[in-house]
Structure 1
Amino acid sequence: MSLSFTVQRKAVELVMPAGPTPRELKRLSDIDDQDGLRFHIPVIQFYRHDASMFGKDPAAVVRDAVAKALMHYYPFAGRLRELEGRKLAVDCTGEGVLFIEANADVSLKHFGDALQPPFPGLEDLIFDVPGSSEVLGTPLLLFQVTRLACGGFILAVRMMHTMADAPGMVQFLAAVAELARGATVPCRCGG
């Protein structure tokens, strides 16, 4: 069974840290600097309609939480640079991460009970902004919040793998979730 739906995206924007962050150059470890890790990892999460969210726009809530999280995880708002010997470093510039707000004419139930890959229309749920898949000089994170017809939403994230492994990505996304739920500081922030 194939699922067909339409996603309408708003203009791509940059979300910058909600406050000032250090301006520095951080060299990646030799483990993180491997050629085999120089690619982006996509993650997709589905959220059912929640009556307690009445009157709150998931895109605005996530955008605000990302901006707050970037104050604690500020290297993600920077850009990768290549130094001598192809050594990667994060230039902590505070330039921000990509954010896309979208709407889809589909309900969560149409994706079926087992929300597992392959997802129909994945390229629309995590849009590859032209030029954003490069390793050097591009945003290290891309977020897309797609509101669904049922009131639920889909959060898709693409992260540069040299910046974090799976546990690191989970830690960052948990911090975003904590801030989205109203925390003033993420408790899992690894300093």
Structure 2
Amino acid sequence: MSDAGSVVQLMFALAEMAGGATAPSIPPLWGRHILAAREPPRVTFTHREFDEVDGTIIPLENMVQRSFFFSPTYVSNLRLLLPYHLRKCSRFELLAACLWRCRTIAIKPDPDEEVRLLFVVSARSKLNPPLPSGFYGNATVFQRQ
């Protein structure tokens, strides 16, 4: 299992070797132990993102998948719709909030029902000490808002 960072690293290694290198400039490191749990493991935070959710809000057959491109101009125009004190949010926060709001309006969930926004983030830049060069493993985690 690998994440996007690992796939990019692999593609660079393949490109180097396709270009005539006998080995990648950054040798692969298969250190599965690097991201192992503490010994002994201990829970320091309640991870509700893994809680079971009963049922679905709308039937899956009514779902559609679409791709959208948000140009810099479109993002700027969205930002202008925000209250002034929120305009310094990141592009990710802006688009996630906009899409979440549109989705919630579309599916009209019961106001008493708990709904969640889950997304996967890379932990590579957050780790201390950082992952060593050449680590090809998965370093993504669920983030819940």
Same fold (TM over 0.5): no
Q: TM-score band (shorter)?
A: under 0.3
Q: What TM-score, normalized by structure 1, do the two folds share?
A: 0.22
Q: What TM-score, normalized by structure 2, do the two folds share?
A: 0.26
**Greater RCO between the two (CA within 8 Å, min separation 6)?**
2
Q: Specify which structure has the higher proportion of helix.
A: 2
